[in-house]
Amino acid sequence: MTQFTISTRFAVRVFVLFWLALTGLSRPTPAQAAFIDPGFDPTPSNFVYAILAQPDGKTLVGGAFSAIDGSSTQQRISRFNPDGSLDSSFTPERLGSVRAIALQSDGKMLLGMDANNLSPSVTRLNADGSLDAGFTAPVIRWNTNLGTVDAVLIQADGQIVIGGRFSEVAGQPRQNIARLNADGSLDAGFDPAANGRVRALAVQADGKILAGGDFTEVAGQPRTNIARLNADGSLEINYPVTPTIITDAVYAIVVQPDGKVLAGGAFGGGLRRFNTDGTTDFSFVGTADRSVYAIALQADGRVVVGGSFNRINNRNRMFIARVTADGAWDGTFNPGADNVVFAVAAQADGQVWAGGIFTQLGGVARRNLGRTLPTAPTPLPDPTFNPSVNNVVNSLALQADGKIVLGGTFTEVAGQPRSRVARLNADGSLDTGFAPSEGNATVNAVAVQMDGKILVGGNFSLLGGAARSAIGRLNADGTLDDSFNPGVLNGSTPGQVRAMTVQADGKILVGGVFTEIAGQPRFNIGRLNADGSVDADFNPSADSIVEVFALQPDGKILVGGAFVNLAGELQPYFGRLNVDGTLDTTVRPTLNNRVQAIALQPDGKIVIGGIFGCPGYSSNVLLRINGDGTPDETFLRCEASTWPHWFDGAVRALTLQPDGKIVVGGFFLRINGQPYETLARLNEDGTPDSSFNPTTNGFVHTLTMLTDDSILVGGAFGEIGGRPQPAVARLVDPLAGLTERIYLPLTLR
């Protein structure tokens, strides 16, 4: 079976820059973007080391940043509201880099930091971010330098255990672990002493304290990187974590509700679970190929991990992953990052936050901080609709019975020979009863007549086993209609049909590249009667390619293409014809390049897409005009103030949703400076709808809305929304009618 060629991300970028043809192999991608919150992009200016989810739904974020979400008022520590907006009521003092956050029951928070001349290594803030005057921060030193606190733990009695790299606390010797009283003074009776850095702390329900790091002794006893202390700080002698299991540093410790302990680190496997007595829980099968730096438990028992790994359980997972409660690979979660994740947090509503040193999360730009949503906000490919087309789909047409006609360059559908024309059942399966001997070259356009017959246009010279020059008609069963053979020629050779539309009266509009149709001179545009004869009264002529038609309810015809002159007048790239083919001169938008897509809104406004740009700018745009031809001032305009809204590539396809939103497909990578790869949705004012971003790894050539409000997409892609769905897919709203299905974001490598 011939395999569909999947373009690389690089090929897409090359095309956008140089308008090259589709080539290449499947692109490697770090992740699937569908579940990344598109409205949350605070962009911390530096690394994020700690994230803590508050019980009220707010989230604390700590790190080395000096600005976040465009503001410098929350340096090193910030707080976000549940909707992702910055909590402006939180106004912290200027601090050192925050490495650890712990929350008291009264809303106050303890911070562990890299100390500097402006702040200590540990401090406490009030709920509004101000320094707590009731807490005297001790001076913490590492030899002659200021020390670092990597971990903070608040005990039930209010005392505070700290771990990090230090040798002195409040003037007293303390090796890498110490306990403070609630007021910040040193607890003189707590001195277990670890001979290496303590990076993680956790407390059990019985008050015992777990410590992890890169040490070999605690309280003078051999302990390799993990130890358990009694509540008074003495070492628990009978906690037998096997030294051969934890052979390297421990960076994260989490106690599960059942008392079992998860540990992440640089040791072999990166992730382990221990029973309450310290023995290894071999029923937990999760492993990582590199270090795990952070662990978070979700309410359903699943485990989110972040680190420097590339694989979890021998599956590709870049820097962030989730495993089930027993450690098995969770294929439903794959946001992925392009660099290390130092911190993860799980919200009660299912959101997952990630912080680190990355520049991408889920395949979209997210600098150092991002969050995933528990359900995708965007329509996703229906996995039950996958006809497996082996090459490009250029055109889609719907029959009255819900079946779907495809035209393109493919030669196989669902493993069966189908040369450039095929028909699918409504569920996406191949209609095996429709098997014509199709065309010998590209099909660019298909259209269904009211009697069920199917018009086919393209570059071919054979259709259904018979000679047909660029246009032909099939009966409803796929056999060739012998009575229809107008012929489209360009000089003495077959021409190209690029667009076809059936009018309400049954007449057929034909556009493309040709000089003759049905034996009569027609330049790039013509109209046929239902029997295939030329409509003698319709002869507008265009001086170059006609690519697209749209019909108004009053019978007027919208035309787009590469022409400059239409119907004998200067009318660049777009025009409106009267029913008889004469030019409606009231509609003259200013365009400087080709129009490839037109959509007529119910209110009479006209959306136009292509590769044109506003004067003075190279970026491409969508335009909308009113029904009388005047510019729609409520939509994107050719002004410097609105130029960032433009596309960085071509718009090839448009379809309208019932709610007035506009679905756009083509060869672009960004809209308004944000990543939207070849498929996007616009709000009614033309701004991008951030809740819709099911990226493809190729190009989108055609779009069609179905009666159930799902969206048919056809083109030159191998994946859509992270799923392998070559050339044609159906996008469905996961929150409306199909929520019982599981849509897995997959990554091909």
The CATH number covering residue 644 comes to 2.130.10.10
301 lies in a domain?
no
* pTM of this structure: 0.58
Predicted confidence (pLDDT) at residue 322 exceeds the cutoff of 80 = yes
| Predicted local distance difference test score (pLDDT) of residue 380 | 74
Average pLDDT over the chain, rounded to an integer: 88
| Predicted local distance difference test score (pLDDT) of residue 632 | 86
The average pLDDT across 345-361 equals 94
| Predicted local distance difference test score (pLDDT) of residue 204 | 96
Predicted confidence (pLDDT) at residue 326 exceeds the cutoff of 90 = yes
Angle at 73 between CA 69 and CA 78, to 5 degrees: 60
Tabulate helix, strand, coil % of the chain (nearest 5).
Answer: 0, 40, 60
Residue 33 · residue 327 · CB < 8 Å: no
312 lies in a domain?
no
Q: Which helix (H) or strand (E) holds 141?
A: strand 140-142
Q: 645 by DSSP, 3-state: which?
A: helix
| Predicted local distance difference test score (pLDDT) of residue 590 | 82
Nearest to 475 by CA among 465, 484, 466, 462: 484
The winner for highest mean pLDDT among 29-43, 414-428, 607-621 is 414-428
Residue 577 · residue 604 · CB < 8 Å: no
645 lies in a domain?
yes
Nearest to 378 by CA among 656, 684, 647, 695: 695
The average pLDDT across 252-266 equals 97
The average pLDDT across 261-272 equals 96
Nearest to 62 by CA among 74, 70, 51, 53: 51
Residue, of 70 and 203, whose pLDDT is higher: 203
CA distances from 84 to 67, 348, 351 (A): 16, 15, 11
| Predicted local distance difference test score (pLDDT) of residue 539 | 97
457 lies in a domain?
yes
Distance (Å, rounded) from C-alpha 100 to C-alpha 110? 8
The average pLDDT across 227-254 equals 90
CA atoms within 13 Å, Cβ hemisphere of 5: 14
Distance (Å, rounded) from C-alpha 174 to C-alpha 324? 39
- Residue 23: which pLDDT band, with cuts at 50, 70 and 90? very low
| Predicted local distance difference test score (pLDDT) of residue 448 | 97
Predicted confidence (pLDDT) at residue 409 exceeds the cutoff of 80 = yes
The residues facing 369 across adjacent strands are 355
Angle at 211 between CA 207 and CA 213, to 5 degrees: 170
3-state secondary structure 479-532: CECCCCCCCEEECCEECEEEEEEECCCCCEEEEEECCEECCEECCCEEEECCCC
26 lies in a domain?
no
| Predicted local distance difference test score (pLDDT) of residue 676 | 83
pLDDT in tens, 547-570: 999 999 999 999 999 999 999 999
The winner for highest mean pLDDT among 42-56, 438-452, 640-654, 680-694 is 42-56
pLDDT in tens, 708-739: 889 999 999 998 877 788 999 999 865 443 32
Nearest to 714 by CA among 699, 735, 693: 699
DSSP 570-624: E--SEEEE-TTS-B-TT-----SS-EEEEEE-TTS-EEEEES-B-TT--SB--EE
The average pLDDT across 121-139 equals 96
| Predicted local distance difference test score (pLDDT) of residue 36 | 80
Phi and psi at residue 747, to the nearest 5°: -125, 125
CA atoms within 13 Å, Cβ hemisphere of 586: 8
| Predicted local distance difference test score (pLDDT) of residue 271 | 97
Share of the chain above pLDDT 70, in %: 89
Distance (Å, rounded) from C-alpha 412 to C-alpha 376? 32
pLDDT in tens, 190-202: 999 999 999 999 9
pLDDT in tens, 665-699: 999 887 766 778 899 998 888 888 877 878 888 99
Q: Which helix (H) or strand (E) holds 412?
A: strand 412-413
The dihedral formed by the CA atoms of 268, 270, 273 and 278, expressed in degrees to the nearest 10: 50
The average pLDDT across 237-245 equals 79
- Residue 637: which pLDDT band, with cuts at 50, 70 and 90? low
| Predicted local distance difference test score (pLDDT) of residue 744 | 30
pLDDT in tens, 507-532: 999 999 999 999 999 999 999 999 99
The average pLDDT across 263-282 equals 94
Distance (Å, rounded) from C-alpha 447 to C-alpha 407? 10
> Which token pair is 130?
């101000």
Amino acid at 359: T
Q: 312 by DSSP, 3-state: which?
A: strand
CA 522 from chain centre, in angstroms, equals: 46
Share of the chain above pLDDT 90, in %: 72
Predicted confidence (pLDDT) at residue 369 exceeds the cutoff of 80 = yes
- Residue 636: which pLDDT band, with cuts at 50, 70 and 90? low
179 lies in a domain?
no
Name the residue with tokens 């999760």. Answer: 286
198 lies in a domain?
no
CA atoms within 13 Å, Cβ hemisphere of 232: 3
Nearest to 27 by CA among 698, 712, 703, 738: 698
The average pLDDT across 567-579 equals 96
| Predicted local distance difference test score (pLDDT) of residue 347 | 92
- Residue 134: which pLDDT band, with cuts at 50, 70 and 90? very high
| Predicted local distance difference test score (pLDDT) of residue 398 | 96
Host domain of residue 527: 392-732
Residues belonging to the chain: 749
| Predicted local distance difference test score (pLDDT) of residue 9 | 36
Distance (Å, rounded) from C-alpha 34 to C-alpha 720? 10
Distance (Å, rounded) from C-alpha 315 to C-alpha 306? 15
How many helices and strands (H and E) does the chain possess?
1, 67
| Predicted local distance difference test score (pLDDT) of residue 349 | 84
Residue 198 · residue 249 · CB < 8 Å: no
The average pLDDT across 190-215 equals 97
| Predicted local distance difference test score (pLDDT) of residue 540 | 97
Nearest to 564 by CA among 573, 556, 555: 573
619 lies in a domain?
yes
pLDDT in tens, 144-174: 899 999 999 999 999 999 999 999 999 999 9
Nearest to 590 by CA among 567, 620, 613: 613
> Which token pair is 397?
């047409």
Within 8 A by CB and 6+ apart from 145, the residues are none
The total domain count for the chain is: 1
Residue 440 · residue 468 · CB < 8 Å: no
